[in-house]
Amino acid sequence: MRIFKFGGASIKDAAGIRNVFSVLQQTGYEDVLLVVSAMGKTTNALEIVIKDYFDKSAALKSSVQEVKKYHNQILLDLFDDDKNAVFTDVNKLFADLDYFLSQNKSPNYNFVYDQVVSFGELISTTILSHFMNFSGIKTNWIDVRNFIKTDNNYRDANVNWELTQKNISKNVKKKVLNITQGFLGSDENNFTTTLGREGSDYTAAIFAYCLNAESVTIWKDVPGVMNADPRYFENASLLNHISYREAIELAFYGATVIHPKTLQPLQRKEIPLFVKSFLNPTLPGTSVSKGTDLEPELPCFIVKKNQLLISLSSIDFSFIMEENISEIFALLHQYKMKVHLIQNSAISFSVCVDDKFGNFTALKTILSKKFKVSYNENVSLYTIRHFDEKASKMVEDGKSVLLKQVSRETMQIVTKET
- Which residues make up each annotated binding site for ATP? 231
Q: What is d(CA 88, CA 82) in angstroms, rounded to the nearest whole number?
A: 9
Q: Are 66 and 205 in contact (CB under 8 A)?
A: no
Q: What is d(CA 101, CA 241) in angstroms, rounded to the nearest whole number?
A: 47
Q: What is d(CA 158, CA 358) in angstroms, rounded to the nearest whole number?
A: 21
Q: Are 206 and 148 in contact (CB under 8 A)?
A: yes
> β-strands 300-314, 371-385: how paired?
antiparallel
Residue positions in the annotated binding site?
231
Q: Are 331 and 286 in contact (CB under 8 A)?
A: no
Q: Sheet containing 410-417: which strands, arranged edge to edge? A: 338-344, 348-354, 300-314, 371-385, 410-417, 399-406
Residue 324 CB partners (closer than 8 Å, separation 6+): 314, 349, 370
One-character DSSP codes across 376-400: EEEEEEEEEET--HHHHHHHHTTEE
Question: Could you count the other beta carbons within 10 Å of the beta carbon of residue 125?
Answer: 27
The one-letter code for the residue type at 61 is K
Q: What is d(CA 144, CA 192) in angstroms, rounded to the nearest whole number?
A: 10
Q: Are 142 and 179 in contact (CB under 8 A)?
A: yes
Question: Could you count the other beta carbons within 10 Å of the beta carbon of residue 206?
Answer: 27
Write down the H helix ranges in 152-241: 161-171, 200-211
CA angle 41, 43, 46 (to 5 degrees): 110
- Cite the beta strand spans of 15-61 per DSSP E: 32-36
Closest CA to 310 of 254, 260, 366, 392: 366
What is the distance between the terminal CA atoms of the chain, rounded to a whole angstrom?
A: 51
